[in-house]
Each structure stands twice: as structure tokens, then as C-alpha cells.
């Protein structure tokens, strides 16, 4: 049981490049979400999904796109990377049942130069 798998672990992009951060879970969790973590700030929600075909914006969605075509996968797309998107990105999932906590991926450290 792998839990939540994020790839890649590290990435360096040039300004204006695009890329997709991958997130996959094998726990059949309905809910998946993306966060960014910046120094001195708490994690902030970018986008989330409550099930296949359903996505919604979080606190900081600008510059990011998501889709949820399957229960297992929730990729995060940066269409035109900017230095302000330099951050550590975490994907997390949880079952729709109310009393269960979150399972986090190991994170992706992204640097945009």
C-alpha cells in the first residue's frame, strides 16, 4: 500500500516553462488536494477535488490548473511558471468519511529561475 505518491521530488524550471506535478493515491480516497508551503507561512490550499470529475479552487489557485479524470490521480499543472511559484508542493488525500485524517505525499520541491 503506497499511500500518496508524488513525482518528481525535485524540479527546476525556467520562467515561462510548463510542467505537471503528479499525485496518485491507491487508497480509493474520494478527496484529494494540493498545497504549497512557503517559508514563514502555513500550508495553503491551491485546488481540491471531492471526487472524479469534480474540482474546486482553494486559497491560492492563480497560475495552477487541475483535473480529476480518475479517483487515483490528481495532477497539478503550471502553465507558465513564475519565480513566485517557487515552493514545496504537497498533495494529500482523505476518505470522504468525516472522522478520518489526511494522508500526505512526500512533497515536490520546485524552483523557478
Partner 1 sequence: KNEVEQSPQNLTAQEGEFITINCSYSVGISALHWLQQHPGGGIVSLFMLSSGKKKHGRLIATINIQEKHSSLHITASHPRDSAVYICAVGPNTDKLIFGTGTRLQVFP
| List of residues contacting partner 1 (CB under 8 A) | 31, 35, 40-45, 48, 50, 56, 58-59, 88, 90, 92, 98-104, 106-107, 109
Nearer to partner 1, 2 or 40 (CB): 40
Cβ(84)–Cβ(44) below 8 Å: no
Spatial CB neighbours of 82, under 8 Å, sequence gap ≥ 6:
15, 63, 112
Q: How far is the CB of 66 from partner 1 (least distance, A)?
A: 14
Nearer to partner 1, 12 or 79 (CB): 12
Q: How far is the CB of 106 from partner 1 (least distance, A)?
A: 5
Nearer to partner 1, 43 or 52 (CB): 43
How many whole angstroms separate alpha carbon 68 and alpha carbon 80? 20
How many whole angstroms separate alpha carbon 60 and alpha carbon 48? 11
How many whole angstroms separate alpha carbon 62 and alpha carbon 82? 11
Q: How far is the CB of 76 from partner 1 (least distance, A)?
A: 17
Amino acid at each position: 500500500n503506497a499511500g500518496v505518491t508524488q513525482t518528481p521530488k525535485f524540479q527546476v524550471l525556467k520562467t515561462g516553462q510548463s510542467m505537471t506535478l503528479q499525485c496518485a493515491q491507491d487508497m480509493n480516497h474520494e478527496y484529494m488536494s494540493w498545497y504549497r508551503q512557503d517559508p514563514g507561512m502555513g500550508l495553503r490550499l491551491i485546488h481540491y477535488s471531492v471526487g472524479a470529475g469534480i474540482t474546486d479552487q482553494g486559497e491560492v489557485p492563480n497560475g495552477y490548473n487541475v483535473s480529476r479524470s480518475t479517483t487515483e490521480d490528481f495532477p497539478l499543472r503550471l502553465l507558465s511558471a513564475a519565480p513566485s511559484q517557487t515552493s514545496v508542493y504537497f498533495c494529500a488525500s482523505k476518505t470522504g468519511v468525516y472522522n478520518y485524517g489526511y494522508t500526505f505525499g512526500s512533497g515536490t520541491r520546485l524552483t523557478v529561475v
